[in-house]
C-alpha cells in the first residue's frame, strides 16, 4: 500500500501560521524608525502604569509630535515585554514623548502626568502590580530634573493627593521601544474591552480636566 506522508502539509501550515503572526507584529520586536522630530523639539520620558493608557492620553495633547511605548530604567538591553513582565530586568513601562516646547511646556506635561495616574502607590496602578508599573520620571536634562522636583514638592505641600507622592525622578539612561503590537494600542482598536473599560474612562477624565490642552478642543 502506498504511504501518504503528511509532513509537507504540516510544514506548510506552520509556515502560513508564522507568516500570519509576523504580519500581526507578534514576532516583530521593534517599531519602524520614526520620522526625525522637528527642529527645536524636546523629549520627555514618563512611567505611570500600563503604557497603553499613558500613550493614549499624551497622543491627545496639543504640541505633542509623537508618543512611543517602551521600556526604560533597566539593566538589560533590548528587553522583551515578557522579560519586563517577569520583573527581572529593572525596566518600567514608559512612554517617550516628543513635543514642541513652544506649544506645550515640560511642566504642563508633568501636570498631565501627575493628574492622570495615582502617584502615591509604589509599584502599582489599579490592578497592575510590579516594579514595571512604578511612577517615574526619567529626566533628560538638569532643567527637567529641577522642574520635576519643584512641582513634586509643590503638589505634596498643597495636599493635592491623600498620601505622599512616591514618583521617582531619575536620570534618563536609555529607551527601548516596545513591540509593534503595543504601539498605538487605543488608536488601532478602541473597541477592545481593555480600551473601553480601562482606557476610555481615563481619557474622558483627561479631556474634562485638560480640555484646553487637547489636540482638538473639547465640545463638552
Using alpha carbons, select from 106, 169, 163, 112 the residue that is nearest to residue 136.
169
* Residue 113, C-alpha cell as written in the block: 502626568
3-state SS record for 178-192:
CCHHHCCHHHHCCCC
DSSP string, 79-146: --HHHHHTT-S--EEEEEEEE-TTTS-HHHHHHHHHHSS-TTSTTEETTEESGGG-EEEEESSHHHHH
Annotated active-site residue 53? The verdict is no
C-alpha–C-alpha distance, residues 165 and 156, integer Å: 7
HSE at residue 151, side-chain half, CA atoms within 13 A, is: 21
Q: Which of 48, 50, 53, 195 is catalytic?
A: 50
DSSP structural state of residue 14: H
Q: Between the CA of residue 68 and those of 48, 50, 146, 181, what are the distances in Å?
A: 14, 13, 24, 12
Residue 170, classed as helix, strand or coil, is strand
Catalytic residues: 50
Amino acid at each position: 500500500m502506498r504511504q501518504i506522508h503528511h509532513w509537507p502539509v504540516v510544514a506548510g501550515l506552520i509556515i502560513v501560521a508564522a507568516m500570519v503572526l509576523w504580519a500581526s507584529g507578534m514576532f516583530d520586536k521593534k517599531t519602524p524608525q520614526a520620522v526625525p522630530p522637528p527642529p527645536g523639539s524636546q523629549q520627555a520620558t514618563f512611567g505611570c502604569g500600563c503604557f497603553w493608557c499613558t500613550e493614549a492620553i499624551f497622543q491627545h495633547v496639543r504640541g505633542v509630535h509623537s508618543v512611543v511605548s517602551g521600556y526604560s530604567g533597566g539593566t538589560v538591553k533590548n528587553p522583551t515585554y515578557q522579560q519586563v513582565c517577569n520583573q527581572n530586568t529593572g525596566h518600567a513601562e514608559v512612554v517617550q514623548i516628543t513635543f514642541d516646547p513652544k506649544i506645550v511646556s515640560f511642566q504642563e506635561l508633568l501636570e498631565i502626568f501627575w493628574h492622570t495616574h495615582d502617584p502615591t502607590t509604589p509599584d502599582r496602578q489599579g490592578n497592575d502590580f510590579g516594579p514595571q508599573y512604578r511612577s517615574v520620571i526619567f529626566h533628560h536634562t538638569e532643567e527637567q530634573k529641577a522642574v520635576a522636583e519643584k512641582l513634586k514638592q509643590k503638589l505634596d505641600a498643597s495636599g493635592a493627593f491623600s498620601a505622599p507622592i512616591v514618583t521617582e525622578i531619575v536620570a534618563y539612561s536609555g529607551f527601548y521601544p516596545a513591540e509593534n503590537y503595543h504601539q498605538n494600542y487605543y488608536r488601532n482598536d478602541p473597541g477592545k474591552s481593555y480600551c473601553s473599560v480601562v482606557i476610555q474612562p481615563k481619557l474622558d477624565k483627561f479631556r474634562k480636566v485638560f480640555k484646553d490642552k487637547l489636540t482638538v478642543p473639547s465640545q463638552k
